[in-house]
Amino acid sequence: MSDLPFLDYRHAVSQSVVALDVHTGRGEGFRGALEATVAGDIHVFGITADEHSVHRTPGLIARAPQRYVKFSLIERGTGLIVQDGREISLRAGDMTVYDTDRPYSLLFDDAMRMSVVMFPKAMLGMPAEAIGRLTATRLDGRSGVGAMIGPYVSSLAQGAGALDGHVTRRLFRTAVDMVETLLEANLGPGRTSTDAHGSLLRRVSDYIDDHLADSDLSPGRIAGAHYISVRHLHAVFNEQGTTVSTVIRTRRLDRCYDALVDPQRAHQSITSVALAHGFVDAAHFSRVFRAHFGVPPSAVRTA
């Protein structure tokens, strides 16, 4: 991870993360570095830089909407995170989450280092409202779940690039699970499980995961299994900023990606992997896979 002058750093950040407006007061004296590792649609970054600020503006969101959650661990220096009307100071050891689909700002007054895990919001089995209560809040990294996830994410950011693709994917998925556990812990006992809306969302999400291999999985079947109307089901996912069909397709694609990078499944053809996870047409699978991951299935299998 080599140091970059400001213009190169700004370009690297916007290309590797999401479109951002980056500023610094250090001019030509600025130096920054970014190390990025991607496994499917999960991204892990290690960022080291001098004083600067980044802004996800309404204009950038309108031009390039991306429904991701970013989990950040501050490892050196101090910073300020602003989103959803909240503003919180962060110091080494603190963690926070923010939503790339809404405006936010990060400001660092001195040299800093942080590790970041970015993943689709749909990977969290939590209502959007629950996630929104925790954006731009301080998540303690010194005790409880936070004390466990901090070293894990830091080590991923530093060493994931040297790992086998299948191993990287599994480790990244574990990181997302740990982030979800941390968020639930910070919501407090029962705040997600006893809420009727959250409870329904979890049951539906579990049902979808259990039946992804069924090619006839549909909103009507899911609604019937939970004794609700299809309209109610669509409303639940609309509140998450997504649709039932999008969630089914995304999770099937994730399962297929996992299978394609798994050396234990190298004997399976790409078509058989697609069929085993609920897709019924190989050409359609190839198109949606490329649209989602940016590469065709064959490129993942080759890698």
Note the pLDDT of residue 48: 95
Q: How far is CA 249 from CA 204, 220, 257, 268, in A?
A: 15, 16, 12, 21
More confident residue, 137 or 39: 137
Alpha carbons within 13 A on the beta-carbon side of 212? 19
How many percent of the chain have pLDDT more than 90?
50
Q: Supply the pTM of this predicted model.
A: 0.78
Instruction: Judge whether residue 187 has pLDDT over 90.
Output: no
Instruction: Judge whether residue 131 has pLDDT over 90.
Output: no
Which domains are present in the chain? 6-187 (2.60.120.10), 196-302 (1.10.10.60)
Alpha carbons within 13 A on the beta-carbon side of 244? 20
Instruction: Judge whether residue 280 has pLDDT over 80.
Output: yes
Give the model confidence (pLDDT) of 284-294 as tens digits.
999 999 988 88
Instruction: Judge whether residue 103 has pLDDT over 90.
Output: yes
